Amino acid sequence: MTDLLLLPGDGIGPEVTAQVRRVAERLAGELKVEERLFGGASYDKHGTPLNDETLAEATAAKAVLMGAVGGPKWADAPRQLRPEAGLLNLRAGMEVFANLRPALCFGPLADASTLRREVVEGLDIMIVRELTGGVYFGHPRGIETLADGSKRGIDTQVYTTGEIERVARVAFELARGRRNKVTSAEKSNVMETGLLWREVVTALHAREFPDVTLEHMLADNCAMQLVKNPRQFDVIVTDNLFGDILSDEAAMLTGSLGMLPSAAIGAPGKPGLYEPIHGSAPDIAGQGVANPLAAILSFEMALRWSLGRADLADKLFAAVGRALEAGARTRDLGGTLSTAQMADAVIEAL
């Protein structure tokens, strides 16, 4: 059985997952690691971003670690065959409905953020993003031609009670192990799904988690509060689209998009999907300068959440902290280290 299935993908994806492989060999050489084409790379070879064998391997592995997918090369591919569609199909196929995106500001990086040190120092937020529903998957969708020849684009935002409950439950449970506060972000002032989201979260809270502090916040205000006073947050639970946007915003509080890992989890015992939240970064791909820490920290999350090795996860997390403490910086963090040299620094700290 494969312990870790690597899906390097496109752009900087293969560059950062290559470093994960090195770290994994150093830290846990006994892990059985496999690798498959995914995204644009798979489309070029197989005519589809995610073929049946790869999905089957992913659901049979203990954990899957994805690099990044997409890029200008595939801009004209049919929508259902674009690299990003492969990623959505992988998330849906693995049924990983809760996406944990921790925004954590490592002490030595407090000056790397575009925000002032006193705003971000000590920051430790967990964004829980619903990942397999909402406007990303709702029907009807498409672009249709109207009688007058003009066009109409349609996306559908849709959520059921069960979809909201299961992701909110993950958020409340996480909060209990942290600072015991959940902020639920939606647009209940204008959206029906937002109204249902608020009702369901409120009811679940009263029924199962009365000991956790629950706060409701409109998503636009949440975006503003994230840059005004981010340390007011502990766990933020939100839908697929708001979670996508709020987590990129939160990434910059930590210094760089290249720092944020994520874990997508589903039912207990099912494999998790681990991915840096950044994309394929076409602007720097092939230069060997991408920050590999988001990918390395995604492996840290895989050790903790899917591979039953919290001990090794702790070691790796501490090693990343020590490497940063010693001054290791890629270009996005204001330094000059290459992708491989940043991984060297982590391996040395291990």
Residue carrying the six token digits 């997952």: 17
Of the candidates 63, 88, 281, 337, which one interacts with ligand NAD according to CB under 6 A?
A: 281
Between 93 and 335, CB nearer to ligand IPM? 93
Over 53-82, what HEC string results? HHHHHHHHCCEEEEEECCCHHHCCCCHHHC
Please report whether residue 130 would count as binding ligand IPM according to CB under 6 A. Answer: no
Rg, C-alpha atoms of the chain:
20
CB of 263 to Mn ion, least distance (A): 15
Between 137 and 197, CB nearer to ligand IPM? 137
Task: State yes or no: is 45 an active-site residue.
Answer: no
Of the candidates 98, 123, 277, 320, which one interacts with ligand IPM according to CB under 6 A?
A: 277
Nearest CA among 196, 237, 207 for reference residue 98 = 237
Ranges within 195-254 binding ligand NAD (CB under 6 A): none
Between 145 and 336, CB nearer to ligand NAD? 336
Please report whether residue 312 would count as binding ligand IPM according to CB under 6 A. Answer: no
Segment lying near ligand IPM (by CB under 6 A), choices 82-90, 223-231, 294-302, 323-331: 82-90
d(CA 179, CA 21): 33
Q: What is the DSSP string of 117-138?
A: HHHHTT-EEEEEEE-SSGGGTE
Q: What is the DSSP letter of 278?
A: S
**Interface residues toward Mn ion, by CB under 5 A:** 244
Find which of Mn ion, ligand IPM, ligand NAD, none residue 2 binds, CB within 5 to 8 Å per kind: none
Please report whether residue 279 would count as binding ligand NAD according to CB under 6 A. Answer: yes
Ranges within 235-264 binding ligand IPM (CB under 6 A): 244
- Both tokens of 307, joined, read 């591979």
Find which of ligand IPM, ligand NAD, Mn ion, none residue 188 binds, CB within 5 to 8 Å per kind: none
Print burial letters for 268-298: b (CB count within 10 Å at least 16), e (below 16): eeebbbbbbbbbbbeebbeeebbbbbbbbbb
Establish how many alpha carbons lie within 13 A of residue 118's alpha carbon, considering only the half-sphere containing its beta carbon: 0
Task: State yes or no: is 248 an active-site residue.
Answer: yes
Q: Is 85 helix (H, G, I), strand (E, B) or coil?
A: helix
CB of 281 to ligand NAD, least distance (A): 4
The site for ligand IPM (CB under 6 A) is made up of 70, 84, 87-88, 244, 277, 279
